[in-house]
Chains A and B, each alone.
Chain A
Amino acid sequence: MNIKEIARRAGVSVATVSRVLNHPETVAPKTRQRILTLMEEMDYKPNWFARGLNFNKTDTIALLIPNIMNPAYVEVAEGVESVANQKGYTVLLGITEGEEKKERKYIQTLIDRHIDGVILVSSLLNNDDLNHMKQQGIAVVLIGENSDNSPEPIVRIDCCAAAYQAVQHLLNSEHKYIALIYGKAPAMENKRKIEGYKNALKEAGIALRTDFLIREENTIEGGYVATRKLLALKKPPRAIFTSSDLLAFGVIDALRDSELRIPEDVAVMGFDNIRMSSLMVPKLSTVAKPLHKMGLSGARLLLDVIESGRNGDMVMKEIILQSKLKIRKSCGHKERIKEIF
C-alpha cells in the first residue's frame, strides 16, 4: 500500500494525502478525516526513510559510547533515550570500543542513513571529523571533551577539579602514598584527572612518584592487574585513586587476594559512582559523576541544535555539571564534617 493508492481511493491528489501527513492543518477537516480513516482501514504506514529523504529529517539520533560493559555509559544512554523518546526521536546506539577508526566508520554509516544528529561520548574524533558531519547536515553534541577542544555544544564535568578534590580528601585523611590507576579511555577526561591528582599532591608538598601512576585498560581486570603491579613495588601505596569505579572494583579484588584490609591497609577511591559502587564491601568512596543527568543534558542540547534550524533559537554552548565526592567506607575517613547529608 502506498500513498498513490490512498490518493486514488480517496479521490484526491497525492499532494493532498501528503499534506494530511505533514501539514494536516492545511487540509479541510472533512477531507482530512476521510483520508485518515482510509489510511487506518488500509493499514497504511508512511515510509519513514523516504520521508527522511524528502524532509531532510528522520527523527533519528545516534549515541556513540566507548563501551557498553561499563555501567557508567549505560546510565548516560538511559538519560539520552528518556529525553529523545519524549520528543519523538529514536536513538541508535553505537559502541566505539575507544577506537578512533571504529568511531569514524560509525559516523560515515550515520551520515549515509541521514540521521538528524549524534551524541559523541568521550569522542576520539578531531574537529575536522566533526565539521564533516555538520556539513552533511548532522547536528553534533559532545558528552565529555574530545582531544581538539571542539567548539560544538558540550556537556561535561570539571574532571580536574573533581580528581583534585578526591585526592585532597585522601591527603586530609593523612595519606601520603597515594597511587593513581587510570584507564586508557576516556583519554581526555583521564588526562584532566591526572592533572587534578598532580595538583593536589603538589599543593600538599608531596613529590610525584612516577611508579605510582599506572595506565591500564578501563576494566575490572585492568584495575586488578594495575594493583598487582603497585603491590609489587618496594614501597607500595597506602591509598589508590582510580579514574573509574570499574578499575576500583579490580583494585578491591586484588587487595583482597593479597589479604590486605580496606581501608586499614590500603584506602580506595573510585570515580563515576555507578550503582554497584554502594553495594561493594566495603562500600566504595568515589566521585559521583552525574551520569544520567549528562545523558539528559546531552540529548537536550542535541535536540535544541536540531530544532534551532527551524525555530532559530540560540543553543547553549556548554553545560558544566557538578560532580561530588561520595564518601563511603573504602577511603578510611574519620571526620564527618563534610559528609553530613
Chain B
Amino acid sequence: MKTNFLGLSLKSPIIVAAGPWNRDGESIRRSLATGVGAVITETIVSDPIIDVKPRIAYDGLGAQNIRLFSDVQIEGWEREMDIAKSNGGVVIANVSAHTPSELAYLAVKMEKYGADGIELGLSTPMGVDLEVVASHPEEVYEMTRYVVENVKIPVMVKLSQNVTNLPRVAKAVQMAGGSAVSAINAIRCILGVNIQTMEPLLPTYGGYSGVPIKPLGLASVASIAQTVDIPICGIGGIDSYKNALEYIMLGASAVQVGTALMIKGRDCITQMVEDLDRWGEENNINNVKEIRGKALSKLKSFEEIKTDPLTCHVDNQIPCITDCNMCIEACMYGAVSRLEDGGIHIDPQKCTGCGLCTFLCEPKKLYLKW
C-alpha cells in the first residue's frame, strides 16, 4: 500500500521509528530491507554521551527505556549515511538539540549527508527536564522555523503526549512551516518497582512505549488531525498491520513502528508490511489516501452522541467458555445472571446498555441492540 508523506512517495506507510535499532548505516540498511517506506535514524545529538546500563525494561506489555541518543557523532554520520543508503531507500534523520541554531546545524549536516527528511526530537521524556521542549508551542515554533529556514528537505516534528494541549503544539509546527508531525513520542514513566529490593526497575524516569500506549497515540493523532492540515505520522504501540490501519483511519498518512521491532525483531516489520499490502489488495485499496481519516469522520463530540435505548442481548446458541462468569461478575447493574440450562439471561429492566460485557465476552455471545 502506497502513501504520499513529507512530499515523498513511499512504497508502504510503515516507517521504522528512531531508536537504537537504527543506530548506524548497517542497521538502517537492514531496516530498509524489511520493505518499509522509510527508516528514521536513532536520535542524533551534538554531544553524544555514553549509554547507561541497564537502560531497557519490559513487563510483557510495555517497555521503559532510558536509552538516550546515538553514540555516533555527527561527523561519523557522513559515513553511516553512505552505508545506510547504499541499496537505496528513504532515510529520515532524527535530530535533537536544546536551541534552534544547535538543532539547525545538525539538520543541515544530515541534509548534506543525504537524509531525505528531518524529524525533530523535541520531546524526549528522559534525561533532560520535567518539561519537554514540546510542552511550549512558542519554543516548538522557534525551533521548527529555524530548521525549516536552513534546510530544503521536509521537516517533521515528533510530539509528546506529555503536554496539556497537543493540537496547539501541532499548530505551532504547521505555522512554522513544518511539513508533518509525528505523534506520539514515548511517555514519561517508571515501569515498576521491585518490591523485594525496594528499587525502581530502572534507576531514572524513562520513556514508556509499546502496545499499552496505542490508545493514547490514537487519541493524539485524531485530535491533531482535527486541528491541522499537515500530514501526521502515527506512533505508539503498533504491533500489527491492523494497528497501522487504525492510525490511518484516524487521520495518519504514515505510521512508525519501534517497540514491536525491539521486542520481536525485524521480521515482524516485514510481516506488517506484507499483511498491509495483502489487506489492501483484498479490499481494493492501493493508496493510504483512500482510507485516511475514514474513522475520524465518525468521531463525534460528546453532545452529538445519540442516546439510543440500547440494552444487551444474548445469543445463547453460542456456548459459553467453561467456568467463565466474567459478564455476571462485571455487570455493575446486576443485570446478568445464569439460567438453569447454563445459558445467560439479561434483565432488560436492569441493563443500562453500558456495553462492557460485550467486550468481556470472548465468544461474542453478547451484543447491544434496541
Contacts and interface: CB of A to CB of B under 8 A. Distances in A.
A208 interface: no
A316 interface: yes
B112 A313 contact: yes
B268 interface: no
A86 B73 contact: yes
Interface of A: 79, 82-83, 86-87, 290, 292-293, 296-297, 300, 313, 316, 318-322, 338, 340-341
Please list the 5 inter-chain residue pairs (A to B) with the smallest Cβ-Cβ separation, ordered nearest first.
Answer: A322-B98, A293-B47, A86-B75, A319-B101, A340-B130
A321 B98 contact: yes
21 contacts: A79-B47, A86-B75, A86-B76, A87-B75, A293-B46, A293-B102, A296-B46, A296-B73, A297-B46, A297-B102, A300-B74, A300-B75, A313-B112, A316-B101, A318-B101, A319-B102, A320-B100, A321-B98, A321-B102, A322-B102, A338-B130
A292 B46 CA distance: 10
B99 A320 contact: yes
A292 B205 CA distance: 25
A320 to B, nearest CB: 5
A322 B96 CA distance: 13
Which DSSP category, helix, strand, loop or mixed, fits chain A's interface? Answer: mixed
B46 A341 contact: no
Interface string B117-148: 00000000001011000000000000000000
A341 B127 CA distance: 7
Interface of B: 46-47, 73-76, 98-102, 104-105, 108, 112, 127, 129-130, 150, 204-205
Contacts of B75: 83, 86-87, 300
B102 A320 contact: yes
Contacts of B205: 341
A320 B46 CA distance: 12
Contacts of B127: 341
Contacts, number: 50
A86 B75 CA distance: 7
A316 B99 contact: no
B70 to A, nearest CB: 14
A86 B99 CA distance: 25
A73 B90 CA distance: 41
B99 A292 contact: no
Contacts of A322: 98-99, 102
B47 A296 contact: yes
B90 to A, nearest CB: 23
A83 B75 CA distance: 7
Nearest to A291: B47
Nearest to A82: B73
Given A87-B75, A321-B99, A316 B105 contact: yes
B73 A83 contact: yes
A291 B150 CA distance: 25
Contacts of B46: 293, 296-297
Contacts of B99: 319-322
B101 A341 contact: no
B153 to A, nearest CB: 15
Nearest to B112: A313
Contact of A341 (B104, B108, B204): B204
Contact of A320 (B47, B101, B130, B204): B101
Contacts of A318: 101
Contacts of B150: 316
Given A79-B47, A338-B130, 12 more contacts: A86-B73, A290-B47, A296-B46, A297-B105, A300-B75, A316-B108, A319-B105, A320-B99, A320-B100, A322-B98, A322-B102, A341-B129
Contacts of B76: 86
A140 to B, nearest CB: 18
B102 to A, nearest CB: 6
Contacts of B112: 313
Nearest to A85: B75
Contact of A316 (B47, B73, B104): B104
B74 to A, nearest CB: 7
Nearest to A301: B105
Nearest to A158: B99
Contacts of B100: 320
